Structure formats: C-alpha cells, structure tokens
Amino acid sequence: CAWGANGGTGKPIVINEVSGEATFKAENPFAALAAGGDTGGGCYDPLRNCVWWLPPRNGSAMTKYDIASNTWSEVGAGVASSSAALCYLPDDDCILVVGTLGANGFAVFDCATGTWHYPAITGVFVGGINLSVYTYGAVSPTWVPGLSAAAMWDNSSNTASINIMTKPANPRSGVWVVSQLPVSGLNVVAPSARTPNGTYGRFQYSPNLDGFLLLNAVDQDLYFYALSAA
C-alpha cells in the first residue's frame, strides 16, 4: 500500500537495480488517484508477470498491469473499499486483500476468474489490530509459505507478537484462523509501538533469512524475528 500527501502518480515506476535510475511506465487509465493522498495497494503476480493494483475509491474494480506489454486492464466487479494492502497467494492464484472489505475487513480475489470472495475468520488479533478499521491498508500482510499463512504487524501494544492469518484449504470459502507466533522466554528485544501513521509495507518476510524484518521508524534500527534457528 502506498501513501503520498498529494496523491502521487498513477504510473508504475521501474527502478534499475544497478544504476538506480527510475523509469515511469504507462499510467493507469481506469481510476483517478484520491486527492487526499491514499493511492491504492498492489502486489506482484509471478504467474502472469503482472502487478495487481486496487484503486483507492469505492466502486473501483481491480486493475492489472502487464509488465511485458506496458498495458493496463480492469478485472472483475467494483468493490466497496478505500485503499487496501494486497498479498498474492501463490498456491491458490488468489490475492488476500486487507482494508475494510466486507464484514471482516478483508477479502480474497480470484485472479483467474476476477471474482471477489468474503470468507469467515476466527481467532483474536493482539496489539490493537482490527482489520475492519484499516481503511488505508496501514497493516500489510506478508505471505509465509512455510506457515501457509499471512503475517502482519502494526502493533500499538504486545509489540513482540506477530499476528498470522492461516489459510484454509480453500481460501475463497474456508475459515481463516488468526493466531500469534510464539516469542521465546529468552527474548530481550521488543519493537517500539507502531508509528501513528501506520506500518504499511515496512514489515516483510524474508525467504532467504526465514524471518521477519520490521522498520518501525526511519530513525530506528531494523528489528528481526527468526522463524528458525538455522
């Protein structure tokens, strides 16, 4: 999920990892950006080599940016949501969308059919997270293959805890289960409380390190949570 005081640009930006040069690509023609600054949420789809982006206005449909052809298209029906955070589920070709969608504050978008689903959820979030009030996607889920779950952190309390939403066999219709990852009794470091404006994408899972990185504020060190001791 992105945020900019002036709404930002509707163009994807490709950054050359060697030179650092940024190149603007084709602008999304299907939804104007909100003047208040909320600029939608997106995720990468490796199956199609595309970027999915949900515009920040109620009634907007999901949009797809094809990287190879530098073109945009609309997919599926419009939904009642403002800005949201997106997380691609590789085993199911679906997207978990968090941000005041449906009764439970999240939805599952089927990439193949363009259909929206609103599954049930059980369990309790800790740390002050409540998906139904995260209008701007301030809590961004990150996918953890080994757990078959989406993890998230935007904690105002219980800052050492990481919430996870475990995916059911069918993420479209099954019940998602909320729980927390364990914290060792020997743990001596706990992140500071989230910044007032939210964490957004500054909490991510690293497959190479098998752990979580948290940049809670630009003037703080990185926090790290290891899933394994290896």
Q: What is the pLDDT along the chain (230 residues), one digit of tens a residue?
A: 555 566 666 788 899 999 999 999 998 888 665 444 556 789 999 999 999 999 877 788 999 999 999 999 999 999 887 778 999 999 999 999 998 788 899 999 999 999 999 999 999 999 999 888 776 678 899 999 999 999 999 999 999 999 999 999 999 999 999 999 999 999 999 999 998 888 888 999 999 999 999 999 888 899 999 998 65
40 Rama class: left (phi>0) / alpha (psi -120 to 50) / beta:
left
Closest CA to 201 of 10, 3, 5, 47: 3
- Residue 172's pLDDT is 98
pTM of the predicted structure, to 2 decimals: 0.92
Give the separation between CA 56 and CA 7, rounded to whole angstroms.
10
User: How many residues can be counted in the chain?
Assistant: 230
- Residue 167's pLDDT is 98
Answer yes or no: are the C-beta atoms of 118 and 76 closer than 8 Å.
Answer: no
- Residue 35's pLDDT is 47
Task: Give the DSSP letter of residue 23.
Answer: E
Which residues touch 204 (CB under 8 Å, ≥6 apart)? Answer: 142, 212, 213
